[in-house]
Structure 1
């Protein structure tokens, strides 16, 4: 089933705050990340449990935050960009906390996600987004991190290729389009 993403504001005449745009981006990113986690399962990659699936979703979210940061660099000044990415990340922490709590029970799931986001942001800092999209090292890093999470079992051996060649690109394209739509 195709993922339908609504990325146009209901009332176009009302100007949106960066906080509102960040919230919309978080909702869209969550849907894309969940869709990509499901796509891996549909391609016969195996999750050992829901916790593992949630960490894969989080890796996609971290990747999409990096994409948003690169895209916003072209449209916003530094203060606006920082405000947008902060609002986006804060809303994602809420999504991660709520959904993880629903699946795994009570606990602090937002703080570990934020710690992982901060660590990954340093790792992604050298990777570029060019006119065609994320560069090979950018996508390879996403694929590598998901491969590490999925393990080296025989059925998950080629997950890095799936992420780099198909799912990472698709996530980028969907998210970049939604990002541009929200600023129109």
Structure 2
């Protein structure tokens, strides 16, 4: 089933704040991340539980936050770029906290995500995003992290290939298009 993403403002005559755009980006990123987690299941990769699936969603969110930061570079000054990416990340944390609480029960899921985001930000810093898209290393890192989360099930041994060759690339394309659309 195709994922439909609305990335145009209903009333495009109004100016949008960076916080509003960040919130819209977070909603779009959440939908893409969930879609990619579901797609792994549809491709017959195996999750042990909902917590594992939520961790895969988190890896996609971290990846898309890195993409947003790179797409913002050159479009905004440092202060506006920081404001946009920060509001985007904060809204992602809210989505994650709400959904994790619903699935797993009470807990501070946002703090764990912030720690993951901070760690991954340092790791992704060396990878390139060109006008053609993320580099091989960028996508490989996403695939590696998801492979690590999926465990050593025999069914999951090719998950890195699925993420690198299809799902990560598709997530990037959908998100980059939506990112551009929100600024039209």
Q: Is the TM value for this pair above 0.5?
A: yes
User: 2: CA distance between counterparts of 1:152 and 1:164?
Assistant: 18
Aligned match of 1:88: 88
User: 1: CA distance between counterparts of 2:34 and 2:46?
Assistant: 15
Q: Secondary structure at the match of 1:69?
A: helix
Displacement of 1:74 after TM fit? 2.6
Answer yes or no: is 1:28 the counterpart of 2:21. Answer: no
TM-score by length of structure 1 reads: 0.99
User: 1: CA distance between counterparts of 2:180 and 2:126?
Assistant: 23
User: 1: CA distance between counterparts of 2:147 and 2:50?
Assistant: 16
Runs of 4 or more consecutive aligned structure 1 residues displaced over 4 Å after TM superposition: none
User: 2: CA distance between counterparts of 1:117 and 1:101?
Assistant: 19
Displacement of 1:152 after TM fit? 1.8
Answer yes or no: is 1:5 the counterpart of 2:5. Answer: yes
Aligned match of 1:181: 181
User: 2: CA distance between counterparts of 1:86 and 1:183?
Assistant: 17
Displacement of 1:131 after TM fit? 1.7
User: 1: CA distance between counterparts of 2:98 and 2:131?
Assistant: 36
User: 2: CA distance between counterparts of 1:32 and 1:136?
Assistant: 20
Structure 2 unaligned spans of 5+: none
User: 1: CA distance between counterparts of 2:126 and 2:76?
Assistant: 20
Aligned match of 2:155: 155
Deviates more, 1:29-38 or 1:68-77: 68-77
Aligned match of 1:57: 57
Aligned match of 2:46: 46
Please show how residues 132-147 of structure 1 align to structure 2 within 5 Å: 132-147=132-147
User: 1: CA distance between counterparts of 2:32 and 2:50?
Assistant: 17
Could you list the per-position Cα deviations for residues 49-93 of structure 1 after superposition, in whole angstroms to 9, with x for gaps in the alignment?
000000000000000000000000031111000000000000001
RMSD: 0.5
Please show how residues 68-87 of structure 1 align to structure 2 within 5 Å: 68-87=68-87
TM-score by length of structure 2 reads: 0.99
Displacement of 1:103 after TM fit? 0.2
Could you list the per-position Cα deviations for residues 82-114 of structure 1 after superposition, in whole angstroms to 9, with x for gaps in the alignment?
000000000001000000000000111010001
User: 1: CA distance between counterparts of 2:61 and 2:81?
Assistant: 18
Displacement of 1:40 after TM fit? 0.2
Could you list the per-position Cα deviations for residues 95-141 of structure 1 after superposition, in whole angstroms to 9, with x for gaps in the alignment?
00000000000111010001100110000001110121000000000
